[in-house]
A and B are shown apart, each in its own frame.
Chain A
Amino acid sequence: QVQLVQSGAEVKKPGASVKVSCKASGYTFTGYTGYDMHWVRQAPGQGPEWMGWVNPNSGATNQAQKFLGRVTMTRDTSISTAYMELSRLTSDDTAVYYCARERRGPGGELNGMDVWGQGTTVTVS
């Protein structure tokens, strides 16, 4: 079945960096339409916050303004895995980080984030 499996929980010191992985299975990671891989985080008791996406085919990325210069999104097509690295961590970065696949319809239109990873808890303390 289609699934995204993320790396395990992390505890980091302020100022450090964290890299979270997201391994895709059950579908073609670099299919002709592609499924952009998004990263979304959710702080305790808060709503989801979009961070950006990486296109598995081209490697192109787009990040939310808030994270520009601090987040790096990459992928390794040989192992169908996407990565999100966040640097200069502060306590405000304590959150559950999710990867999520955004689906495209036959005409290329976006159809929502239909598959999500299980989440990776990052604690900055």
Chain B
Amino acid sequence: DIQMTQFPSTLSASVGDRVTITCRASQSISRWLAWYQQKSGKAPKLLIYKASSSESGVPSRFSGSGSGTEFTLTISSLQPDDFATYYCQQYNSGRTFGQGTKVEIK
């Protein structure tokens, strides 16, 4: 099974900060990676697919990059609505989620 490791697990930041979350796969997954945002008590929401393609309606401050085993999600200027938990998910072989990165208010 492919393992996904996210870091950091928790991130404290302020409104307006640039935030980067990293996700590493245990083997190459090409670009078959998605990023999701989840708020407490809600289902995950798709932000990015195929490593860097933005889902319709997602603000342009969210961007994804990477290929192979190393991927990043960047929020260019953190907004109040962005405080949430973010998960990466590979879909190269089966599906595996990372353990999540909680973005907290500093």
Contact = CB atoms under 8 A, between A and B. Distances in A.
Interface of A: 38, 40, 46-50, 62, 64-65, 98, 100, 102, 109-114, 116-119
Given A47-B97, A48-B89, A112-B49, 12 more contacts: A38-B95, A48-B44, A50-B94, A50-B96, A62-B94, A102-B91, A109-B50, A110-B32, A111-B50, A111-B53, A112-B48, A113-B34
Contacts of A49: 97
Nearest to B90: A50
Interface in B41-77: 43-46, 48-50, 53, 55
B55 A116 contact: no
A46 B55 CA distance: 25
A48 B1 CA distance: 16
B87 A116 contact: no
Interface of B: 1, 32, 34, 36, 43-46, 48-50, 53, 55, 87, 89, 91, 94-100
Contact of B43 (A62, A102, A110, A119): A119
Contacts of A117: 43
Nearest to A46: B99
19 contacts: A38-B95, A40-B44, A40-B95, A46-B99, A47-B100, A49-B97, A50-B89, A50-B95, A98-B43, A100-B43, A109-B50, A111-B53, A112-B34, A112-B48, A113-B36, A113-B89, A116-B43, A116-B44, A117-B43
Contacts of B50: 109, 111-112
